[in-house]
Chains A and B, each alone.
Chain A
Amino acid sequence: MSATLSCHGLSKRYGDVVAVRDVGFSIAPGEAYGLLGPNGAGKTTTISMLVGLLRPDSGGVTVGGVDLGREPLRAKAKIGYVPQEIALYPELTGRENLRFFGRLFGLPRKQLAGRVAEVLELVGLTDRADGKLDTYSGGMKRRINIGAALLHRPEILILDEPTVGVDPQSRKAILDGVEHLVAEGMALLYTSHYMEEVERVCDRVAIIDHGQIVAEGTRQELVAMVGSADKIELVLDGDVDAAFAKLRTVEGVLEAARTGDSSVRLLAEGGRYLLPALITAVEGYATVTATEVIEPDLEATFLHLTGSTLRD
């Protein structure tokens, strides 16, 4: 199946600073693709090149088979871009804002009103459509912000941090809506600081750091990069040396290390299920006063690959 969006060798330099270096990926119809990276990693620069705001120093972008560099207007007509900021006129109503974007995207006059009504229904704001935007809550503004990108029925929706600063109810509504669109066959490029959103929405994820994609794959593939073993942290009271020696012999423990006078860290398969055996093993030498099991996830993978958390 041909990709809805593909880019290759994208690079952008500002003076001596390389913002993006040789970035490339493709997104199939109905696929949700996540772009994860800490602040300053090059996500926004990459997206700016994908939507035609920035001209790349090298590389190219194809949207729905149309080369963005050669036919920017045709390519842009296939993209629905939702910027991180609320890019709407606060003095206008929700409906007026949508009509503005509908005209901007060249929707025929006869279709405009009907399409605006459909999108208002989709984002759940039909009742508030004629209220001025500056009377909306943050979540409502975010929903109109997304709706403005859907009016022209784009082939790919590009969402840049769409849930920043919204309440849990609005976040759920946004994520439900996005999943609905993907299920209907729309391609999605999603960036977020919220790992759980990316894990929930995206089929594939690219981790970008220092302007480069350092890893790409499904959630399972990325997690496998840091291994499938769980980390088990134990705090002991008693003869810690003797207890540590016994713990190393328990079946399933792959590695063991002392992390303090009374604490040890184990690497084990199925760590949560191994806990009773570990507690039994140290009986007579020490008492387990605290336990923590850390399962491998995208956050751990991200930390492993970039050396920082997403919110750094």
Chain B
Amino acid sequence: MRPRPVLALVLANLRRHTRDRTGLFFMAVMPFVSIIFVGMALGGGTVGERLPVGVVAPGGDTATDTASDTATDTASDTATDTVTAAVLAELRRHPDLEITPVAAKSELESGVREGSLAAGLVVTPGSSRLDLVATENNGSGVAARAAIEVAVGRVSGVLAATAAAEHAGSTPQQAAHLVRQAQSQTGHVTVVDTESPGGEPRGFAYTAPANLLLFTFINSMAVAAAMVESRRLGMLQRALTAPVRRGAVLMGEALSRFAVAIAQAVLIVVVSSLAFGVRWGDPLGVAAVVGVFALVATAAAILVGTLLNNPDQAPAIGPSLGVVLGMLGGCLWPREAAGETLNTIGHFFPHAWGMDALLALSRPGTGLLAVLPELAVLSAMAALLLGAALILFSRRTRAGT
């Protein structure tokens, strides 16, 4: 395949796109309007925000605040209050949790119900019992519960290790020293649990990836109108009378759309990073997700551009389709609010998989490997759509339509 005809089509289409003022507005302005307003409505955070967990403890603020010593202190004092304080200290150290003292259990339950708290803990005076308060179908609640279980597990581990040392003949002081030593040696190891459900970021950290997917797809759909117009004008037919293979013409059309989709995505990544401080995560992972999603959008655009007969249909149908898929994929509102059924339906379409991948990548320590399943699904979708587009394009251009 000669590159010049492909390049000719790409250059011509990009030039046409840069002269479409409405298209440029939707590409360069609208995504950021959406990111700003929806992001502010969601709290305006720029990174994955910490989940608020309320704690009702005897002594209120004092109980939670004094529980800031290391967990090894609990090894030397087996009093139940100290155990509770150690658990709370662990929770306060957790990077995803924000521990908030709450005066009464009823107030805590109310906060969880209304969503101002992701979960809550009620400490029973004089006991090591902790009551967890969380809703069943709330992603933040599930994430908070997982984090609490990890903290409790760590304290249990320290207690068990201390008891084992004492059982082996160590004095409580020696046992505490041994446990502290063991802790310092394992302190260099960072464990990232990618299996347990994590809380989704809020504010700009959520709306930036959401709008990247939304507008990359919508603008690709809108650009499909130019392809319908090319067909209507007879440009594609005429191009096929040149010494150019059918595949080269399709490649030129596809690359033009892909370039627009990538430009849209890069613009959102760069501007949201610089202006809103959004942290996207592993660059390689983000590039892979954005690239594959842009391919999906490109394939969908070519399919629409080949199927429709009137260029006026594309701006009417394409963006509407993009908005609906965006809704199902959690691009218009947080997925926590959508419910399980809608989220399940959403995963029949690319946006939900794109969101899964981008939100996962925004968590510290997550890389390309963690989003391979999402990339595989998106790649399969892109291949399916591109295949269908190729067959239809070939049929339509042969039929002279």
Assess the B233–A87 pair: CB atoms within 8 A: yes
Assess the B12–A83 pair: CB atoms within 8 A: no
Q: A92-B12, A106-B2 are in contact. Are A87 and B234 (CB under 8 A)?
A: yes
Residues of chain A lying within 8 A (CB to CB) of residue B156: none
Assess the A96–B12 pair: CB atoms within 8 A: yes
Assess the B235–A89 pair: CB atoms within 8 A: yes
Name the residue on A nearest B244 (C-beta).
A104
A88 to chain B, nearest CB (A): 7
Residues of chain B lying within 8 A (CB to CB) of residue A244: none
Residue interface bits A174-206, CB-to-B below 8 A is 1, else 0: 000000000000000000000000000000000
Residues of chain A lying within 8 A (CB to CB) of residue B396: none
Residue interface bits A64-84, CB-to-B below 8 A is 1, else 0: 000000001110110101010
A50 to chain B, nearest CB (A): 10
From B7, B9, B240, contact of A52 by CB (8 A): B240
> How far, in whole Å, are A79 and B242 apart by their CA atoms in the complex?
8
Assess the A53–B240 pair: CB atoms within 8 A: yes
Assess the B7–A103 pair: CB atoms within 8 A: yes
Assess the B245–A103 pair: CB atoms within 8 A: no
> How far, in whole Å, are A79 and B16 apart by their CA atoms in the complex?
27
Residues of chain B lying within 8 A (CB to CB) of residue A85: 233-234
Q: Identify whether the interface residues of A are mostly helix, strand, loop, or mixed.
A: loop
Q: A86-B233, A91-B19, A106-B4 are in contact. Are A73 and B241 (CB under 8 A)?
A: no
Residues of chain A lying within 8 A (CB to CB) of residue B240: 52-53
- Most B Cβ at <10 Å: residue of A54, A96, A100, A132: A100
Residue interface bits A104-142, CB-to-B below 8 A is 1, else 0: 111000000000000000000000000010000000000
Name the residue on B nearest A101 (C-beta).
B242
Assess the A89–B2 pair: CB atoms within 8 A: no
Interface size class of B (residues with CB under 8 A): 20 to 34
Interface residues of A in 214-238 (CB under 8 A from B): none
Assess the B243–A106 pair: CB atoms within 8 A: yes
Q: A54-B400, A89-B16, A92-B15 are in contact. Are A104 and B234 (CB under 8 A)?
A: no
Assess the A88–B233 pair: CB atoms within 8 A: yes
> How far, in whole Å, are A132 and B20 apart by their CA atoms in the complex?
13
Residues of chain B lying within 8 A (CB to CB) of residue A90: 233
> How far, in whole Å, are A87 and B15 apart by their CA atoms in the complex?
17
> How far, in whole Å, are A165 and B20 apart by their CA atoms in the complex?
28
List 29 A-B residue pairs with CB atoms under 8 Å apart, sorted by A's residue number.
A53-B237, A53-B240, A54-B398, A55-B398, A73-B243, A74-B243, A79-B241, A83-B237, A85-B233, A85-B234, A87-B234, A87-B238, A88-B235, A89-B230, A91-B16, A92-B12, A92-B15, A92-B16, A100-B8, A100-B11, A100-B12, A101-B242, A103-B4, A103-B5, A104-B5, A104-B9, A104-B239, A104-B244, A106-B5
Apart from A55-B398, A104-B244, what are 10 other A-B pairs with CB-CB below 8 Å? A52-B241, A53-B240, A53-B241, A85-B233, A88-B235, A89-B233, A92-B12, A92-B15, A104-B5, A104-B239
